[in-house]
Every structure is written in structure tokens, then in C-alpha cells.
Amino acid sequence: MLSSCIVMASYVKSPPRPSPGSLHYSDEDVSTKYNDLIPAENSSLTEKHSEISDSQSWFRMRQVNIVGTSPPSQPSRKIQTLQAPPDISPYNYSRAPSKGGVLSHVISDRLEKEFTIEDLEEWTEYEVRVQAINGMGSGPWSQPVHGRTRESVPSCGPSNVSALATTSSSILVRWGDVPQTDHNGLILGYKVVYKEKGSDSVPQYLEVEGNTSHSVQLSVPGPPVGILFPEVRTGSVRLIWQPPAQPNGIILAYQITHRRNSSNSNAATVDVLSPSERQYTASGLKPEAVYVFRLTAQTRKGWGEAAEALVPASRPTVPQEDVQARSVMLSWEPGSDGLSPVRYYTVQYRELPDGNWTVHSASVNHEASSYIVDSLKPFTSYRFRVKATNDIGDSEVHYRELQYDRLRSFTVRTINSPASNWAELTDLSKHKRYEIRLSVYNAVGEGPTSTPQEVFVGEAVPAAPPQTVTIQSSTATQLDVTWDPPPLDAQNGDIQGYKIYFWEFQLQNETERLRTMFLPELGVKIKNLTGYTTYMISVAAFNAAGDGPRSPPTRGRTQQAAPSRPSFIHFSELTTTSGSHVGEKVAQLGLGWSACLSMYTGVSKIVTVDVKGSTPLWMKIKDLADGVTYNFRIRAKTLTYGPEVEANITTGPGEGAPGPPGEPFISRYGTALTLHWTSGDPGRAPITRYVIEARPSGESR
């Protein structure tokens, strides 16, 4: 018997009195010898355990007694133990399907516990799987894991770069996307490098932020930046600035224009400065007057965009305008500016009675006259103050206090078990924020409350469907649907959009379709519908938590349209004097149809027949002339006629009809005539009947 580490050996004992025996065996690969003593009382079978699997060994026996050891027996045949499963598995990895191809690596060291995969693509997701391999083959794959390599610089530039001169001093540069495989991360912006051809000037750089813009205008410089008024006096102002953020060339000069900020003031003072200047003093100004300063830069392309600044602004006051549970709107009226324009406002607050002053915002726009202070605690008393800042310094501070009853609107729930360490609050409103405090009481009274904890009861799906769904038939292929939102108390969050389900009446399973609107608009135009068809429409609202219930189906029908062309005209029961034709039903069911018959016998004659109703779809025409070609045209009608289908037919025997009978022989017996004839060619089918026509001899044919 063999296994990966066990060999069963059998032998025959010699006739003399047995003594303990010795079993010798050797491993061929490692050249190791082993000795095991086997008691004489044992049977002729024994098992030997080996430490090495998948190895070759041979065996021989000797007998041992108190005198000594006998010579060894002849060696057994070579025996190889079976293979054992591998202890440690190697690794195999594969690139994500978007790149294609599978890359693998085998790790020979069975004790290795990790491996670094190199030479991968940047910003690419990979799928890694592991399997074990031994001499018998490969084991099953492990569950796949995914990982993405880090970002790197793009591998190539944008495609389809073009430059178009739009004016005498500007160039429009356009470009396409960077190939997706060469992004190597998220594109944050583009950099345009340009310089005059053939010149030794330093290249100019223009950065375009964001990955949505694929064009830029290389033209005159942008406005100067960083305009400040460090000195504002009764009759003069000094201003400083920095060069444009987008110079679009070499700055050759600056131009400063200032005038009074009034509707009847047309006089302006203009000064041109050298490109190295960064400050300017305007003198001869009128006290307490407001002036507008415009500053622009010039390159070879021309004068650029101007930057404007007003001198002066005002100090604020702080009346209270609007107060909410967690926010307060402060508003103020501009005051004296101190002959220097206000640059920004600062809003501070502190909690009464002992809170420290906290800056809520130190960059309120100088043109603002109100500001919302948010992230406040409900039912808390605060003191606010606002100050204005210009180039000279800060204004005086104005205050406003808000006093609140700290216990107003709290709901108290009592827990009577002193061993409890949790409680469940029920009957809360969805989409609301709650503040929870806990206090402990004994026989003496109630202790202080804990630090407030805020809990937001999250959104839930809307509890009610949209209201008042109405349908207006616009055209034969369009329905206009409008509705009102669900009741406010049933929205359970911000409505993010609506889903409109529509289907043909009594064919919901076969024809239902869905239109999703990701904006909370209250109407939609459903197009590409079938004309003169009844539709059922249901609307559901959804928010971040999911879809709400559908509204009850509302019925609407598209308007009538001209029907399509009938499918074909088929003629049957054709004889020499009559025939019938059948028109296949049109694609859009009509209210009636019209058949027009034209006869060509040298003089054209047209007969038109209108058939009321959509059935029957056939007509029998009699008293036709033999051997005459007739033209039939059929069209359907709803509110108007649709296109027509036409076909020609010639009366008379058709293909496969029987030939004429033989010339008749007439015999007369009194007042009776007997006709005799012979059969003619039967055609493609047996003759079923004969037709006898009679007329007075004086009547013309």
C-alpha cells in the first residue's frame, strides 16, 4: 500500500526461532539509510512512515537475535510514494478587461508571502487572482481582488490642436480631448505655450483650469490685479496694483482713468505709465466725493481688459432681519467710508453669557448689505458684531443680541428604571434634525443636563405620489403631462426628480416605457407616440432614499393623423364582366376608405366610391367590359386622406383559365331550343360549370 508518506512492507519469516527483526530502507534521492526494529511477535506486515513525499525508496530485511544479526535479504524493487498537495501557492495576476490580455508570474519560493507587480499602466484598474500549482496540475482560482495604480502625468497632449486668427490682435486656439488611455488620472487643466515665430523671446504661458474647456483666446492682456488704496486723503488717493494674471504678451504700458462716480460726470483724467510702475497718486480730488478708477495694461496686441475700483464705501450698522433655528440673517446700511473704499466686512459671534468671540467670516464681500450666519445651536442666545475694513483700517464694531428661552420647544420623556442605559425615541418626523439632552434626577431633584447631541433623522422615500396629473394631447405623436408635487409633509426630503411611466391602454406588460427626469420639474412632453392611441400615464417622485409610490394611471389619447398606405390590392373571382378586389388593412386604422376606378378604352373614365367605416375591406365590381384594363387606387381616411396604393387588372380569362368550348349546334323542338357543344381546353383545373348568355337577336352587342 502506498500513500504520500507511508509504505506498507510484507515479508516471510525464516524457520528458526524468530528474534526481533530489523527493516532497512534507503531513499534514493537523499541517500539516507534508516533502521527500524520490528518485534518478532508482529505479523509479516508493517508500515513505514517517510518524511518526504514523492520520493523513491527500496527495502531489505535482516533477522536479529541475542547472538547477532543475520545477513540482509535481497533488496526490494524501487518504490515511489505518491505526491502530496502543495503547501504554498504561487501568484497569478491579470490586467482589467479594458486593457485586454492576461499577464502572469510564477513564484518558485513556496514560503513567499507577498509579491510586487511591476511595469503596470498608470491609473489603471487591475484584477488579481491566485492559484496553487503542483506536479499534478493547477488548483482553482481564488476570488478576484481589484486595485488601481496611482496617477501619473498624461502620456500625450491633446489632439486636433488648431489656431484661428479672429481679429487683428487675437488668436482662438482649440483642441480635442486627450485619449482616454493616456489620461493617467483626472485632467485638471491645460497649459498653452506660445511665442512669436522666429523670435528669441521667452515663451508665454496661459493656464486653462478645468477639463471641460477646449478653447482659449490668445489676445490682449487681462485686467491688472491686487488693486489697493493704502493712502486716501482729502484731495488725493494713492493706489497700487500687480500685473495681470494673464498678460498674453509683454506689458508695454499701463493706463489709469479716474472720474467722479455720478451720472452727469463726463470728464475723466487719463494717465499713461511705464510698464515698471506699480503705484499711482491721483491728486486734485474733491473731498467726500466718490471716484471710479479704471486700470488697464497694453501689449503689442493692444489695450486689455480694465479693472475698476470705487473710492470710497461705508461703515456698517447691524439691524436684525431674519432669525431661524440654526441661522440668523444680519443686514446693515452703508455708513461713512473714511475716504477709502471698504474692502470687506467681518462677522463675529459669541454664545451668551460667557462664550468667546468667534469669527464666522472675515471675507464678506464689500458690496454685500446682508449676511447669513449659519451652524448655530437652536434655542441659544447669541451676540453678534460686524465691522468694515478698508485700506486704512477697521471701523467701529456694532452689536446685536438674540435672547432665547433655552428650554422652549423641548419634549421631555422620563425613564423610570435607574438601571437603564438606553432609550428609544419614537414618533419623530422624517427629514428633521433633533437635539438630545440627558439629565439624572433623584429624590432631591434633577441634576444638570448633559452636552447636547444632534441627530438627523434621515430621508425616506416620498410617502405620497404626485398630485393632479393632467394630460394634454398636443399632436398625433405627443402628449403633454403636468402634475403637482407630493404634499410637503409626505416628501420626506428634497425631491430630486420624477419618473413617468406610460403604456398603451390594456397593453401595459407589452408596451410600458419609462421616462426619468433628474430635475424637480412639474411637466414633460412625451414624444414619438402612436397616433390616435389611448395611453395610460403614471408619475412617481424620488429623492435620495428612493422612489415613492406611483400616481393612479391617467388616461390620454393622441390626436388623429393621416393613415398610412394600404398594404396591397388583391383581385379575386375575376370573370369577363365582374370582379372583386381586397385591400389589406392599413397600419393606422382609418374611419373609412376610398376606391377610385379608372377605365382605359380610348376615353378615360374615373369612378370614385367612398366606403364608410373601417370594414369591410373588399368591394365587388360588376358590369365591366371584357378585355379592358382597369386601374384601381385605394386610400384610407381618418381626419384626412393618407397615401394611396394602386394596381391594374384586365378583364377576361386569366392565366390557367379554360379555353372556349367547341362551336355549338342548336336543334329546335317546338318552342324549345337544345344546345350541343364539345368541351375545349380545361386549363389548369377541371371544368366546373358553363355559363350561357342569351339576348334578343336585334340587340347590339
Q: Which domains does the chain possess?
A: 6-80 (2.60.40.10), 162-218 (2.60.40.10), 225-311 (2.60.40.10), 320-402 (2.60.40.10)
CB 148 within 8 A of CB 126: yes
456 vs 696 pLDDT, higher one? 696
607 vs 22 pLDDT, higher one? 607
CB 223 within 8 A of CB 162: no
Tell me the three cell numbers of residue 9: 512492507
Beta strands in 641-699 (DSSP E): 641-650, 665-669, 672-676
Average pLDDT of span 282-292: 79
Range from 37-46, 230-239, 345-354, 585-594 carrying the lowest mean pLDDT: 585-594
Percent of the chain at pLDDT > 90 equals: 9
Range from 35-39, 125-129, 277-281, 531-535 carrying the lowest mean pLDDT: 35-39
Alpha carbon 62 to chain centroid, angstroms: 83
Single pTM value for the model: 0.31
Q: Give the Cα separation of 115 and 649 in Å (integer).
A: 85
Average pLDDT of span 623-650: 79
Per-residue model confidence as pLDDT tens digits over 154-164: 888 888 888 88
Question: Which position has the grid cell 396604393?
Answer: 645
The confidence score (pLDDT) of residue 228 equals 80
Question: Which whole-number Å values give the CA distances from 5 to 51, 54, 88, 124, in the listed order?
Answer: 6, 8, 19, 47
For residue 415, what is the enclosing H or E element? none
Residue 283 C-beta-side C-alpha neighbours within 13 Å? 1
Average pLDDT, the chain: 75
The confidence score (pLDDT) of residue 296 equals 93
Residue type, 502: F
Give the strand pairing for 342-351 and 382-390.
Answer: antiparallel
CB 677 within 8 A of CB 659: no
The confidence score (pLDDT) of residue 116 equals 82
Average pLDDT of span 1-5: 52
Per-residue model confidence as pLDDT tens digits over 216-228: 666 778 889 888 8
Question: Residue 29: pLDDT above 50?
Answer: no
- Write the DSSP assignment of 95-149 as a string of letters: E-TTT----------TT-------SPPTT-EEEEEE--EETTEE-PPPPPEEEEP
The confidence score (pLDDT) of residue 551 equals 94
The confidence score (pLDDT) of residue 593 equals 58
Rounded to whole angstroms, the maximal C-alpha distance in the chain is 157
The confidence score (pLDDT) of residue 482 equals 94
Per-residue model confidence as pLDDT tens digits over 447-474: 787 877 777 676 678 889 999 999 999 8
Per-residue model confidence as pLDDT tens digits over 390-420: 777 776 565 655 554 443 456 777 788 888 8
C-alpha dihedral, 65 to 71 to 77 to 78, nearest 10°: 80
Percent of the chain at pLDDT > 70 equals: 73
C-alpha dihedral, 459 to 464 to 467 to 473, nearest 10°: 90
- Write the DSSP assignment of 508-574 as a string of letters: HHHH-EEEEESS--SEEEE-SPPTT-EEEEEEEEEETTEEEEEPPPEEEEPPP------S-EEEES-
The confidence score (pLDDT) of residue 213 equals 67
Q: Give the Cα separation of 500 and 607 in Å (integer).
A: 50
Give the strand pairing for 672-676 and 665-669.
Answer: antiparallel
Taking the alpha carbons at both ends of the chain, their separation in whole angstroms is 116
In terms of C-beta density within 10 A (0-12 exposed, 13-18 middle, 19 or more buried), how is residue 287 classed?
exposed
611 vs 501 pLDDT, higher one? 501
Per-residue model confidence as pLDDT tens digits over 173-200: 888 888 888 888 888 888 888 877 877 7
Q: Give the Cα separation of 161 and 177 in Å (integer).
A: 10
Question: Residue 32: pLDDT above 50?
Answer: no
Q: Give the Cα separation of 114 and 88 in Å (integer).
A: 11
Residues β-bridged to residue 471: 481
Average pLDDT of span 206-233: 75
For residue 10, what is the enclosing H or E element? strand 6-10
The confidence score (pLDDT) of residue 337 equals 60
The confidence score (pLDDT) of residue 62 equals 79
- Name residues whose C-beta falls within 8 Å of residue 291's C-beta, 6 or more positions apart in sequence: 237, 258, 259, 260, 261, 282, 285, 310, 311
Q: Give the Cα separation of 328 and 402 in Å (integer).
A: 9
What confidence tier does 577 reach under pLDDT thresholds 50, 70, 90? low
Question: Residue 313: pLDDT above 50?
Answer: no
Average pLDDT of span 477-486: 93
CB 300 within 8 A of CB 287: no
The confidence score (pLDDT) of residue 538 equals 95
Range from 212-221, 317-326, 413-422 carrying the lowest mean pLDDT: 317-326
548 vs 694 pLDDT, higher one? 548
266 vs 493 pLDDT, higher one? 493
Which of 245, 225, 306, 239 has the alpha carbon at shortest distance from 279?
239
